[in-house]
Every structure is written in C-alpha cells, then in structure tokens.
Amino acid sequence: MTRFAPVVSALSAAVERGEIPGAHLLLWHQGESFDWLGGFRDRQAGDPLSADTLFRLASLSKIMTSVVALTYVQEGRIDLSDEVSRYFPALADMKVAIERETISGERAINLVEPERPMLVHDLFRHTSGLTYGQFSDSPVQVAYRAAGMSDHDQSRDDIIAKLATLPLAHHPGTTFAYSMSTDVLGWILEEIEGKSLEDIFHARLFAPLGMEGAAFRPAPDRIGHIAQPQPDPETGEIPVLGSRNFYEAGWLSGGHGLFVTAKDMKRFMAMLEGRGSLGQALILSPAIFDWMTSNHLPPSIRFDPDCDLLGPMAPYPDQGRGFGLGVLVRTARGLASLPGTPGDFSWSGLSGTYAWVDPQRELSCALLMQSPTNRRDFISLLRRLVYGCL
C-alpha cells in the first residue's frame, strides 16, 4: 500500500544510518495487507534479513501466553478468581514486604500478611505483587537478583521453590507492577496439563493457526536463522537478550521465551483482527476476546514507581491507557502522547518487537526487529507515522 510509504522510508533510513540492524513490518488496513522487510538478520556477519528469520518476541510473548491461558478459562478449567496457591501450594504463605528506612538511612523491609491471596486474575493484569529483579535496587528486587530468578539454567520447580521464599513487593490486587506474573500463568497451564508449554502452545495456538516456525526451543537447524542485535552505538557492546539462549533454557518462559517468523506473527495478528478466530480456527470466542481487550485495572489501582520505565506502554489512566488480560488497552482518544483510538490494544518486547490492533479503524501492525536500546523511539515513531498515513 503506497499510503504507508513514509513508514517504509523511515525504517529504511534507520537501517542505512545504522540505528537498527533490520526490521520486518506487517501492516493491515481495511482488508489490505502490507509487508516490508529490510536490513540485516546479523549486521556483524553481513547476513540479510529474510522471510524465514526468527525473532525473539521477548515480552511480546505475553500476549500469546494470555490468549492460550484464556482458552482454559473459556473451557471452564481455570477461573480468574482461583487462588494461585491452588496450583502451587508452596506459594500460599508468601508475605508482603513493607519498606522502611533504618536509623542509619538504609533501606529495609518488614514482612506482613497479604490483605488477600494472589489470584489468577492478578497474574493476567500484573497485580500479583510479584516483580522482576532488574528494574531497581529496592530490597525485594535485590532479593530476586540474589536468588537468581532470571537464571534459565535451573528448572521450573527450582524457580517456584525460590519464589515461595521471597517477599511480595505489594499486596495482591492493589498495585500494577510489571513482573514475572505471566511466567507463573504459563506454569499453571503446565501444571494442569502435565505437559510443557511447547506442547500446549503447539496444540492450542501454533497448529490451529498454522504458525509453523513458532517455538520456545527452535530446532537446531533453525538456530542460525535467529535475528541478532547490533552493537550499541554508545557502548560498542552487543546487548544481551536474556541471561542465556532461551532455546537451551531449563524452564520455558511464557513471559519472554517465544521465537517466531514474520509469517507466524502474520497468522497470530490475523487471529487478533478476527476477534479470536482465523478461518475455521476458533481460538477464543468473540465474547472472551472482547473481555480480554477491556480494561481490568480498578479505579483504586496504584502503580509501582518502576512503571515509568515502561514509557508509552505504562497503563496510566491519566494518559488514556489501562490494562486488560495480558494487553495494554487504550481508554481515551486524548490524554496519551501517541495517537490511537479507544479500544486499541498493544504490547511490546524488550528485544524491539511491537504489535497493536485498532479495531475501530480496522488497522493492525506488527514490527519485528532486534534493537533493544532504541525500541521505545521506534514504537513512538511507528504509531505517529502509521496514523499520519490514515
């Protein structure tokens, strides 16, 4: 579609200037599709991007995990009001860390009982009280780092056992804090089925949608097709995407562990455009899908200070955004610093991936690249350019 030529020009120029290694852009508008790729799979090696390049989705994996988890909800096998400890009893006795300052000015914590249990609903919308360990030097995040919670050399059961010994950063249900909640959600699916996330996703998402290249652990002959980030122009160092190669991980991450090709992403996005279905493949009913893409944060919700690090993906209500079941949702036409429409939904990944759907405008877009250092700049640029073409 020639109307989106400014978007292509901007991405091409970014590749030429060395700002990004390469990108694959997928656009749909009112029934027409547009597909562009350019640049390098691996700039250092001089290998060009191709149609069968694999991209690390990073946190964009969370949308797929949420969709798969909702298939269990619509079958009556998971209730959002279920306590997480129903599936992992070891997590029943977690305490909440209340931070205080000692006489010497150091940060310390008191442990108190949670005001209510952690629910599956909290896992979907990041109100569980869990956190990640890399955003700040808060006592809880320091404890996460010390416990090696991002270490993929250990097993899922090892991680859960460690998690049970760590404090919650917030009372469940009170605070939006971006976290490993989606990982726990994925582990619940494994617990229900007695199967790996790889097998569950293949049966419930990949096979029905024809996502033939999607995987948590790509086959050995596909490893050389994975897109690589380029050196950071400021430091000269190549960004590390994860603590190790996720395809060799001891545990599978529903929060950040998926690899896909552009074709796979195209099939998934078409399902989102179809409100849960693609052709004869019904993944979610329209009613469940609409529920997923509605705001699930209550008016009383608070926000962890680290939410500022999410930039345009932070679900601040005074910026016209909320959060559904695994997706950021637009709640107002105004307020936000980026253009959009009430009801549009999106998410992104640390690696440089981004996807959004605007049902009112019959628009959807996915950007696949591996450029973590300037990903927010390109999310902002992409939205401004795309809406500027409409």
Give the closest residue to 57 by CA, choosing from 274, 313, 262.
262
Check whether residue 207 and residue 294 sit in a common domain: yes
Check whether residue 353 and residue 327 sit in a common domain: yes
Check whether residue 146 and residue 170 sit in a common domain: yes
Query: What is the predicted pLDDT for the residue at 243?
Result: 46
* Confidence band of 273 (pLDDT split at 50, 70, 90): very high
Angle among Cα 190, 192, 193 to the nearest 5 degrees reads 65
* Confidence band of 242 (pLDDT split at 50, 70, 90): low
pLDDT at 248 over 90: no
pLDDT at 84 over 60: yes
Mean local confidence (pLDDT), 27-52: 95
Check whether residue 100 and residue 212 sit in a common domain: no
- In the chain, what percentage of residues exceed pLDDT 90? 85
- What are the C-alpha distances in Å from 94 to residues 132, 173, 344, 366? 16, 14, 36, 38
Mean local confidence (pLDDT), 218-232: 90
* Confidence band of 245 (pLDDT split at 50, 70, 90): low
Check whether residue 268 and residue 137 sit in a common domain: no
Task: Specify the range with the lowest mean pLDDT, choosing from 90-104, 125-139, 243-257, 339-353.
Answer: 243-257
pLDDT at 14 over 60: yes
Check whether residue 156 and residue 108 sit in a common domain: yes
Mean local confidence (pLDDT), 182-193: 98
pLDDT at 37 over 50: yes
Main-chain dihedrals φ then ψ at residue 345, nearest 5 degrees = -140, 155
Task: Specify the range with the lowest mean pLDDT, choosing from 63-67, 70-74, 336-340.
Answer: 336-340
Check whether residue 69 and residue 84 sit in a common domain: no
Query: For 248, how many CA atoms within 13 A lie in the half-sphere containing its CB?
Result: 7
Which residues have a Cβ under 8 Å from the Cβ of 291 and sit 6 or more positions away?
325
CATH number, domain containing residue 228: 3.40.710.10
Domain boundary (134, 157, 191) is at 191
* Confidence band of 137 (pLDDT split at 50, 70, 90): confident
Most confident of 117-126, 213-222, 373-382: 117-126
* Confidence band of 150 (pLDDT split at 50, 70, 90): confident
Domain boundary (175, 191, 207) is at 191
Main-chain dihedrals φ then ψ at residue 323, nearest 5 degrees = -140, 130
Pair of tokens at residue 53: 């390049």
Mean local confidence (pLDDT), 368-386: 92
Place of tokens 């209510």: 116
Report the mean per-residue pLDDT for the chain.
94
Show the domain range for 378.
Answer: 2-73+194-388
pLDDT at 255 over 60: yes
Check whether residue 155 and residue 253 sit in a common domain: no
Pair of tokens at residue 18: 């060395």
Query: What is the predicted pLDDT for the residue at 329?
Result: 99
β-pairing, 277-278 with 281-282? antiparallel
Mean local confidence (pLDDT), 174-197: 98
Cα(88)–Cα(130) distance, integer angstroms = 15
Give the closest residue to 138 by CA, choosing from 179, 173, 174, 195.
179
SS (H, E, C) the chain: CHHHHHHHHHHHHHHHCCCCCEEEEEEEECCEEEEEEEEEEECCCCEECCCCCEEECHHHHHHHHHHHHHHHHHCCCCCCCCEHHHCCHHHHHCCEEEEEECCCCCEEEEEECCCCCCEHHHHHHCCCCCCCCCCCCCHHHHHHHHHCCCCCCCCHHHHHHHHHHCCECCCCCCEECCCCHHHHHHHHHHHHHCCCHHHHHHHHHHHHHCCCCCECCCCHHHHHHECCCCCCCCCCCCCCCCCCCHHHCCCCCCCCCCEECHHHHHHHHHHHHCCCEECCEECCCHHHHHHHCCCCCCCCCEECHHHHHHHHHCCCHHHCEEECCCCEEECCCCCCCCCCCCCCEEEECCCCCEEEEEHHHCEEEEEECCCHHHHHHHHHHHHHHHHHCC
Check whether residue 226 and residue 183 sit in a common domain: no
Check whether residue 167 and residue 251 sit in a common domain: no
pTM here is 0.95
pLDDT at 75 over 90: yes
**Per-residue pLDDT tens over the stretch 318-341:** 999 999 999 999 999 999 999 999
Domain count, the chain: 2
CATH number, domain containing residue 89: 1.20.58
pLDDT at 244 over 60: no
pLDDT at 57 over 60: yes
* Confidence band of 221 (pLDDT split at 50, 70, 90): very high
Domain boundary (139, 165, 191) is at 191
Amino acid sitting at position 120: V
pLDDT at 133 over 90: no
* Confidence band of 2 (pLDDT split at 50, 70, 90): confident
Check whether residue 152 and residue 294 sit in a common domain: no
Cα(350)–Cα(253) distance, integer angstroms = 14
pLDDT at 246 over 70: no
Check whether residue 57 and residue 201 sit in a common domain: yes
pLDDT at 122 over 50: yes
Which comes out higher in pLDDT, residue 31 or 107? Answer: 31
pLDDT at 56 over 70: yes
